[in-house]
Amino acid sequence: MDLHYLREHPAQLPVFIKHQRIRETPVPGGSICTAQRLTLDDGGSVFAKSLADPPEGFFAAEAAGLRWLRAAGAVAVPEIYAELPDMLALEWIDHGEATPAGAEDLGRGLARLHRSGAEAFGAPWPGYIGTLPLPNEPSSLPWGQWFARFRLRPFLLASTEALTTDDIAEVERVTEHIDSYGGDEPPSRIHGDLWPGNVLWDRHGRGWLVDPAAHGGHRETDLALLGLWGATPHYDRLLSAYQEEWPLADGWEERRALHRLYLMLVHTALFGAQYRDSVRSLLRAL
């Protein structure tokens, strides 16, 4: 099996793996899926991620998002070699370190990606973030109302065991007054889960977008999430380059906590009370 054969016969990939026709090397770092490097007969490599008994449409949603982001031609996104119900096989990226120039290139690329737009908030396919369903019903609501209804409230409802009654009341207060934060814009084409671990830096210092929860959303979401958990390398350089390409609206720094609240509620829904303090910190900022 080589890449040409894999592209032509993707359904055969599990057969070759089962019969040990492909060398498998574990790849660390995956918290939900099993990640492996597959070495083919011609010496080429493929990145494979798999999950036993995944939710219906789990990998189809990721594949749709990857193709949609890649179609914009604005940023580096891995090619899909095989899309199966319980596995994705993607272009292998040799890991490297971020560089200031690479971060600036990514900032400009993200601006072009976002500017390529979306027909509506949401997406034409059912979404996932982690293993949680991501409500993607296309919507013509203004951004703030859409964000409250489809990004904050669903994950608040899924976090009731992780959050206290007071925490829940504070998030509900944010959703009820979300128009007061401003920032309404038409939908952008966004990655949707762009925390620093979902940027893969190659050996040339170029940033690749991986593991998307792609949809039509607010461009500030991607930029706010890149600043979480110590931030992506050279974050300030990335932001400056983005601003040169497509300036952000006034007040976007104050709204970063609002965009980050979405991902923290995803984490309380998935992983429980260990992320409760992060939610509270964002609520204080808001």
Task: Please identify every stretch of the chain with a pLDDT value under 50, giving residue numbers as ranges.
Answer: none
pTM: 0.94
pLDDT of amino acid 12? 81
Domain boundary among 91, 118, 141: 91
Same domain, 136 and 221: yes
Same domain, 205 and 254: yes
Are 117 and 15 in the same domain?
A: no
Number of domain units in the chain: 2
Domain extent at residue 251? 100-285
Q: What is the DSSP string of the chain?
A: --HHHHHH-GGGHHHHHHTT-SEEEE-TT-SSSEEEEEE-TTS-EEEEEE-SSPPTTHHHHHHHHHHHHHHT-SSB-PPEEEEETTEEEEE---B----HHHHHHHHHHHHHHHHT--SSBB-SS-EEETTEEE----B-S-HHHHHIIIIIHHHHHTTTTTS-HHHHHHHHHHHHTGGGG------EEE-S---GGGEEEBTTS-EEE-S---EEE-HHHHHHHTTSTT-STTHHHHHHHHHHHSPPPTTHHHHHHHHHHHHHHHHHHHH-GGGHHHHHHHHHH-
Per-residue confidence (pLDDT) for residue 94, from 0 to 100:
94
Last residue of a domain, one of 58, 91, 124: 91
Residue 257: the pLDDT is 97
pLDDT of residue 41: 79
- The predicted-structure confidence for 189-234, as pLDDT tens digits, reads as follows 999 999 999 999 999 999 999 999 999 999 999 999 999 999 999 9
Q: In the prediction, which pLDDT does 9 show?
A: 83
Statement to judge: residues 213 and 230 lie in one domain? yes
Per-residue pLDDT, 19: 64
pLDDT at site 27: 87
105/220 same-domain check = yes
Percent of the chain with pLDDT over 90: 85
pLDDT at residue 46, as a whole number: 92
Residues 120 and 61 in one domain: no
The domain that holds 87 is classified in CATH as 3.30.200.20
For 11-34, write each residue's pLDDT tens digit: 888 777 776 677 878 888 667 888
Asked whether residue 254 falls in the same domain as residue 159, the answer is yes
- CATH number, domain at 154? 3.90.1200.10
What pLDDT is stored for residue 194 in this prediction?
Answer: 98
